[in-house]
């Protein structure tokens, strides 16, 4: 574990301390490694009681990019963590809490593939392996334990993310965290499920589908042919205008709620044409007003194959 002291910028507010937590098996090690590669000083499984002193020590040494994977599963640590985060923020130490989550069936598959025991699983069968029922019970117990932390964190659903995708998303989120609300526009396919980290979901399947135009089928919503097709559809223009109006109306309320990010998920059937086009259009409309990130879940997964 290495760190390079970072010279403070002209901005008096230091970069947020990144707190990584979440459900076991959802990729905390991948996230921490991604930040370490990006120049963060990282530490894993830090007890809550040491968090304040650890941050103070690193700041005193001129280290301003700090990421911590906190140990929050014990019954004594979690009740202390949430009040501590509030105290740190009031004292001028911004904290970005990232909570990694995955669908239960995805977690079961990951634990089965790696043959690791879930930290909260106490029982094994005669062969020494963890039974499926015990594993699911442990996952659900952990969800219940961490629900309060999840509610006050920026959630990343890693169920369908490849490691490279996840590393990129984590770095993007941390790079955009500057104390003001950031918008994340994400395209997805309903046939692969709604992103668990979505705050707002809009269904675009009612719009005309370029998939049924032979010349457009192999293209995406970033290609000019699809862009021209959808721009010519009054329903698409009206849908975008109404989504923009909705966000204009409610963004101030989300900002007052002390959020770091608002993830707006736009979905169509395959996550290739309509949702991609609308995400790009919405990002272009808001990019000049506030920090804006773009994700294309299905396209990015396909590009990595």
**Has residue 107 been placed in a domain?**
yes
Number of domains in the chain: 2
Q: Sign of the CA dihedral 264, 181, 83, 42?
A: positive
Q: Are residues 122 and 139 in the same domain?
A: yes
* Residues spanned by the domain of 150: 17-176
Q: Are residues 221 and 186 in the same domain?
A: yes
Q: Are residues 89 and 199 in the same domain?
A: no
Rounded Cα–Cα distance for residues 72 and 78 (Å): 5
Q: Could you tell me which of 76, 8, 13, 5 has the C-alpha nearest to residue 39?
A: 5
Domain boundary among 141, 176, 211: 176
Whether the pLDDT of residue 5 is over 50: the answer is no
- The pLDDT value recorded for residue 4 is 36
Sorted by sequence, the CB contacts under 8 Å of residue 213 that are 6+ apart come out as 229
Specify whether the CB–CB gap between 263 and 194 falls below 8 A.
Answer: no
Sorted by sequence, the CB contacts under 8 Å of residue 91 that are 6+ apart come out as none
**Has residue 7 been placed in a domain?**
no
0.75 exceeded by pTM: no
Domain boundary among 156, 176, 196: 176
Q: State the chain's mean pLDDT as an integer.
A: 87
Q: Are residues 50 and 167 in the same domain?
A: yes
Specify whether the CB–CB gap between 21 and 99 falls below 8 A.
Answer: yes
Whether the pLDDT of residue 179 is over 60: the answer is no
Rounded Cα–Cα distance for residues 252 and 278 (Å): 22
**Has residue 8 been placed in a domain?**
no
Mean pLDDT of 108-136: 73
Q: Are residues 137 and 254 in the same domain?
A: no
User: Helix 274-286 vs helix 234-256: angle between axes, to the nearest 10 degrees?
Assistant: 50
């Amino acid at each position: 574990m290495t760190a390079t002291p970072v010279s403070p910028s002209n901005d008096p507010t230091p970069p947020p301390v990144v707190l990584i937590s979440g459900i076991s098996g959802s990729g905390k090690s991948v996230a921490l490694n991604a930040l370490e590669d990006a120049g963060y000083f990282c530490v894993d499984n830090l007890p809550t009681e040491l968090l304040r002193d650890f941050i103070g020590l690193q700041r005193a040494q001129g280290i301003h990019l700090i990421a911590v994977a906190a140990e929050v599963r014990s019954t004594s640590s979690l009740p202390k963590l949430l009040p501590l985060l509030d105290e740190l923020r009031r004292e001028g130490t911004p904290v970005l809490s990232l909570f990694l989550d995955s669908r239960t069936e995805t977690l079961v598959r990951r634990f089965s593939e790696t043959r690791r025991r879930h930290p909260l699983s106490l029982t094994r069968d005669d062969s020494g392996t963890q039974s499926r029922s015990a594993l699911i019970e442990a996952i659900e117990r952990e969800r219940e334990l961490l629900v309060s932390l999840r509610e006050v964190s920026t959630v990343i659903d890693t169920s369908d993310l490849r490691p490279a995708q996840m590393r990129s998303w984590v770095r993007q989120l941390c790079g955009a965290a500057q104390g003001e609300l950031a918008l994340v526009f994400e395209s997805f396919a309903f046939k692969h499920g709604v992103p668990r980290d979505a705050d707002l979901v809009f269904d675009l399947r009612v719009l005309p589908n370029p998939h049924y135009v032979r010349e457009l089928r192999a293209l995406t919503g970033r290609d000019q042919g699809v862009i021209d097709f959808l721009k010519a559809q009054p329903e698409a223009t009206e849908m975008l205008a109404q989504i923009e109006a909705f966000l204009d109306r409610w963004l101030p309320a989300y900002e007052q709620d002390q959020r770091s990010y608002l993830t707006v998920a736009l979905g169509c059937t395959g996550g290739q044409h309509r949702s991609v086009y609308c995400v790009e259009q919405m990002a272009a409309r808001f990019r000049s007003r506030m920090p804006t990130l773009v994700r294309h879940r299905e396209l990015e997964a396909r590009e990595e194959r």
